[in-house]
Amino acid sequence: MSQLQNEPTTVWKDVTLLTMTEGYGLIRDGAIAAKDGKIVWLGYAQDLPEAYADAEIISGGGHYLTPGLIDCHTHLVYGGSRVTEFEKRLSSMSYEDIAREGGGILSTVRATRNTDEDMLYLSAENRLAHLQRNGVTTVEIKSGYGLDLDNELKMLRVARKLGRKPDIDVVTSFLGAHAVPPEFEGDSNGFMDYLSGEILDAVMRENLADAVDAFCENIAFNTDQIEILFTKARERGLPVKLHAEQLSNSGGTILAAEYQALSADHLECLDEEGVKYMAAAGMVAVLLPGAFYTLRDDRIPPIELFRKHAVPMAVASDSNPGSSPVLSLTLMVNMASTLFRLTPEEALAGVTRNAAQALGLHDRGILEVGRKADFALWDISHPAELAYHVGGNPCVAIVKNGVPF
């Protein structure tokens, strides 16, 4: 027998499975078998084939087992802190006012430029650990606080390095078009040329990005500018996605649809026309209730229209130092339900099946033979409990590529 055929199989028993293939896909008294990092069997424990008699058996302790959670939108790598800005916002300054006076994203740009790669790694690793303890096995991380060649590459290298840890997969997005840095003040077109030329070239050379993202907003970039970047991204075969319609309806979503974007994210100000474009382009709507909550927004994304036009909804943390200092994805499942009125089932699909689609990953997000053996185990007694608790952490273990952590 070859080495490969001798690789041990592991079977989790005494679990309630939520396969998330359709609805919750609940299987009580279930079992799931993994080999070589992939799911090889799942179903009712009583139907477990004889062939698995010699497998290593792990008791799931009666817990629920879901696909490992996927956080499909984060800005986890950054220097410094924005806690003083948080205090300012409490005394009536708005996020946009703070951005206009050089705070906001630009203050994190200064701090990130002044932080070396090792320190950036350690602080991001610490934030990531919170997400992981809460069930996350795949995370997307964006650049966008460097805004020059060296510092954008530095951020993306840190994200790639985090992805070499055995218990997490990291998908990276180049978000150079996040803000205009001081050295290009008043010349956002010049900055866009630099971004979509020299910086994107270097990012591609080092294979540092899995997608290209941008911030389309009246305090950031307009659709004409983003089109330049998206054209370059497409020439190089990189998928695109967009921060769109968060603070105003700026037409970003329609542009993103024209470039077959994976997702448009935020979307509080999106109208039905934009939703139709998303549906036609097969895009995912990424909902970010942490930013909505932190900025005390009063417009919720058009959830009914996403349902009506069958646009899949993902839910993510948007973890960042300004608008969404979030460290728990199950808290986002709660907020997606409470604030955006998603059903708990929709919210859970938002951090599993639909989050995988938002990242263009077809090998995870549901429990099915052939998919990655990435699981989270939960001390709950009803699936909706994953949306019900506000804070706390019912995650008891994660499994990555078939290996328990």
Q: Does 325 bind ligand DI6 (CB under 6 A)?
A: no
Residue 323, binding choice from Fe ion, ligand DI6, none, Cβ under 5 to 8 Å by partner class = ligand DI6
- Report the first-to-last Cα separation within the chain, whole angstroms: 29
Min. distance of Cβ 318 from Fe ion in angstroms?
A: 4
Cβ proximity to ligand DI6, 148 vs 318, nearer residue: 318
**Residues 365 to 404: which contact ligand DI6 by CB under 6 A?**
none
Contact 119, 126 (CB under 8 A): no
Token code pair at residue 282: 């097969």
Scan residues 275-304 and list those touching ligand DI6 (CB under 6 A). 291
Please say which residue, 291 or 305, places its beta carbon nearer to ligand DI6.
291
Which residues lie closer than 8 Å to 242 by C-beta, 6 or more apart? 213, 214, 216, 226, 252, 253, 255, 256, 261, 263, 264, 265
- How many Cβ atoms are within 10 Å of 379's Cβ, its own excluded? 14
Instruction: Return residues touching Fe ion (CB under 5 A).
Output: 318
Q: Which of 321, 350, 365, 394 binds ligand DI6 (CB under 6 A)?
A: 321
* Closer residue to ligand DI6 (CB): 106 or 373: 106
Residue 85 or 318 with smaller CB distance to Fe ion: 318
- Please select the residue that binds ligand DI6; options are 13, 35, 127, 243, rule is CB under 6 A: 243
List the one residue out of 71, 51, 49 whose CA is nearest residue 398: 71
Residues 175, 162: Cα–Cα separation, whole Å: 18
Query: Is residue 178 near ligand DI6 by the rule CB under 6 A?
Result: yes
**Cα radius of gyration rounded to whole Å, the chain:** 21
Considering only 174, 184, 215, 378, the residue that binds ligand DI6 (CB under 6 A) is 215
How many residues of this chain bind ligand DI6 (CB under 6 A)? 14
Give the shortest CB-351-to-ligand DI6 separation in angstroms.
18
Residue 172 partner contact from Fe ion, ligand DI6, none using kind-dependent CB cut-offs of 5 to 8 Å: none
Q: Distance between CA atoms of 79 and 155, rounded to whole angstroms?
A: 10
Smallest distance from ligand DI6 to CB 356, Å? 21
Residues 350 and 352: their CA atoms lie apart, in Å, by: 6
Q: Which stretch binds ligand DI6 (CB under 6 A): 148-156, 317-325, 344-352, 384-392?
A: 317-325
| 27 vs 284 by CB, closer to ligand DI6 | 284
Task: For Fe ion, give the closer residue by CB, 210 or 318.
Answer: 318
Smaller CB separation from ligand DI6, 104 or 365: 104
92: CB partners within 8 A, 6+ apart: none
**Among the candidate windows 104-112, 124-132, 336-344, 365-373, which touches ligand DI6 by CB under 6 A?**
104-112
Contact status: 85 vs ligand DI6 (CB under 6 A): no
When the beta carbons of 84 and 343 are compared against ligand DI6, the nearer one is: 84
Say how many C-beta atoms besides its own lie within 10 A of residue 103's C-beta: 19
Nearer to Fe ion (CB atom), residue 132 or residue 324 = 324
Contacting range for ligand DI6; rule: CB under 6 A; set: 21-29, 101-109, 116-124, 368-376: 101-109
HSE at residue 6, side-chain half, CA atoms within 13 A, is: 3
Which member of 42, 55, 72, 105 binds ligand DI6 (CB under 6 A)? 105
CB of 171 to ligand DI6, least distance (A): 17
One residue of 66, 112, 323, 328 binding ligand DI6 per CB under 6 A? 323
- The site partner of 313 among ligand DI6, Fe ion, none (C-beta below 5 to 8 Å per kind) is none
Give me the residues that bind ligand DI6 (CB under 6 A), please.
Answer: 75, 104-105, 108, 178, 215, 243, 291, 318, 320-324
